[in-house]
Amino acid sequence: MRKYFPLFLIFLLAFFLRAQYPQSGNVVFSFDQARDAFVVGNLLRGDIKIQGPSTSTRDFFHGVLYYYIIAPGYWLGHGSPLIAAYWLAFVTSLGVFLVYFITRLPWLALLYAVSYEQTQYATYLSNTSLAVLTVPLFYLGLWQWLQGKKWGPAVAGLSLGASIQANIFMVYHLPEVLVLALFKKISITKDSLSKFVFSVLLATSSMIISEIKFGFPSRNGLIHLLSRSGYAVSLSKQINTTVEMFGRLFSLNLLPQLPQLGVIIGVLLLIAFLLRRPRPSWWPIVILGLVSWIPALAFGGISSPYITAGLFILVLILVRPAGFLLISIFLISNILYLAGHISSSQTLFSIQKDMIIRQELAAVDYIYSQAEGQPFSLNTATVPLFINTTWSYLFNWYGQSRYGYLPYWHGRSQAGSLGDNLLRPPAGTKKFFVLIEPTQGLPEDIINNYLDEEKKYSTFNHFAQFGDITVQSRTGK
């Protein structure tokens, strides 16, 4: 107990830092988060799910694991995304113990605790956040396999399957196993292969069942993916994105204050690692891992800012031989950066920077205050266009519980969308509101056309801003 007590303190520090985001209301909550919150709500009411969140590529779906991992948070919070974020912060803080188990250095566990990138993933209510635990486990399994440990293939298979559950495009890790086997770095026997294959199939079994039940939609998804992206992404753009993502991986975990040095830091650490030869058995795993994601850029990965999720463990392995002074510099850099940014929003992955709970609930409170207890009708300009899922969830979870009633809805039909329970306003309704999301992803001409449509229902009075969220108060015609 005395030996591991400092590690427990590091875990508490990790959770404390991650909890600052939900404590200040700076948790991203846009369409993807609202969609998942509705699904988890149905799950908690007994509607068992086997199909996970949809991807940006039609007919592809992530695994369902995320819904079950995040469900206790929504259950504890009675639907609150903030409590769900606290829960996710707790789960991802457990990575402190995983990092220590892999590196055997408490200083690197501390670096994980204060890493800016890891705190951003920690409360990002998205399936990909699970990869900060599953991907390091995959590399641990590979290393055990390489060392001849009998459970290495099973650990690698289970964690690879869990990573694919977290994000289907994490399948790009599979070729690493094939390359290591091809160069005889890992032993492929009947026993090891059966353990690995069985473990992958077990971990992805819900995805396989989902494919069978819903008619193998990924067949069409693969065709769509290849026709939409494939070789359509220019080589120069792939190179630029590769350099950028490689630099982000190192800078956001080591020197977030100096992102322009990310690529240089990464190259220098890699050279130093190879020259010092601290653990030759790690070489093929580290090198393969650092380039494994690059081919995925040609197949949709170029639009994924989290394609390197979980690869921080390779960064820490490169840092492992470094002296205490260098590691201290990395620690101080992250701590200083967090001190200046932890009270601001999760900006690393969100396109619409002000789609955070704090601003959204302020907008909801404003609308109810302007309604003065009277019935009112709502319309929204959203991303995706004409889908009111985000605001329907916020009004159902927060607005109704706090103010005792829901708004009516006079926008485009929401039939078939999650959160389509808002009714059309009855004749005589006078209080009308239009809520416009941050304009990133919303072209100005689209908004203007939307407001022109609104003129059929109401006339403009005044507006209020909540960050980049705009609320128009209007009078019904």
Number of H helices, E strands in the chain: 22, 5
pLDDT grade for 222, boundaries at 50, 70 and 90? confident
How large a percentage of the chain has pLDDT more than 70? 95
Q: How large is the average pLDDT for residues 106-119? A: 95
Strand partners, 379: 434
CA distance 227 to 237: 18
- Residue 388: which pLDDT band, with cuts at 50, 70 and 90? very high
According to the model, what pLDDT value does residue 227 have?
65
- Calculate mean pLDDT across residues 458-475: 95
Per DSSP, the three-state class of 115 is coil
- 173: pLDDT strictly greater than 90: yes
What is the structure's pLDDT at 301? 59
Is residue 416 predicted with pLDDT exceeding 70?
yes
**Can you give the pLDDT at residue 284?**
86
- Tokens 């486990």 found at: 137
Rounded Cα distance, 260 and 242, in Å:
14
Spatial separation of the C-alpha atoms in residues 1 and 178, rounded to whole Å: 41
pLDDT band at 226 (very low <50, low <70, confident <90, very high): low
End-to-end CA distance of the chain: give it in Å, rounded: 70
Contacts for 119 with CB less than 8 Å, ≥ 6 apart: 17, 18, 21, 338, 342
Q: Which of 270, 38, 18 is nearest to 122 (CA)?
A: 18
Calculate mean pLDDT across residues 202-207.
Answer: 96
Beta bridge partners of 434: 379, 472
Kindly report which listed range (59-73, 91-105, 150-164, 275-289) carries the lowest average pLDDT score: 275-289
Q: How high is the pLDDT of residue 277?
A: 64
Task: Name the pLDDT band for 463 (thresholds 50, 70, 90).
Answer: very high
Rounded to an integer, what distance in angstroms lies between the CA atom of residue 123 and that of residue 399?
Answer: 23
For the record, the structure tokens of 139 come out as 């590399």
pLDDT reported for residue 231: 47
Specify the pTM.
0.93
Decide if pLDDT at 230 tops 60. no
| Selection from 18, 20, 56 nearest residue 35 by Cα | 56
Q: Under a CB-based contact definition with an 8 Å cutoff, are residues 288 and 176 in contact?
A: yes
Owner of token pair 């990909």:
128
Average pLDDT over residues 199-205: 97
- pLDDT at residue 102 is higher than 70: yes
User: Does position 245 have pLDDT exceeding 50, yes or no?
Assistant: yes
Query: Which of 143-157, 225-239, 347-361 shows the lowest mean pLDDT across its residues?
Result: 225-239
207-216, 294-303, 366-375, 458-467: which range is least confident on average? Answer: 294-303
Residue 58: its pLDDT value, please? 76
Categorize the per-residue pLDDT at 141 as very low, low, confident or very high, splitting at 50, 70 and 90: very high
Closest CA to 289 of 146, 179, 164, 184: 179
Residue 76: pLDDT above 60?
A: yes
* Average pLDDT over every residue of 310-328: 88
Cα 143–288–315 angle (5° rounding)? 75
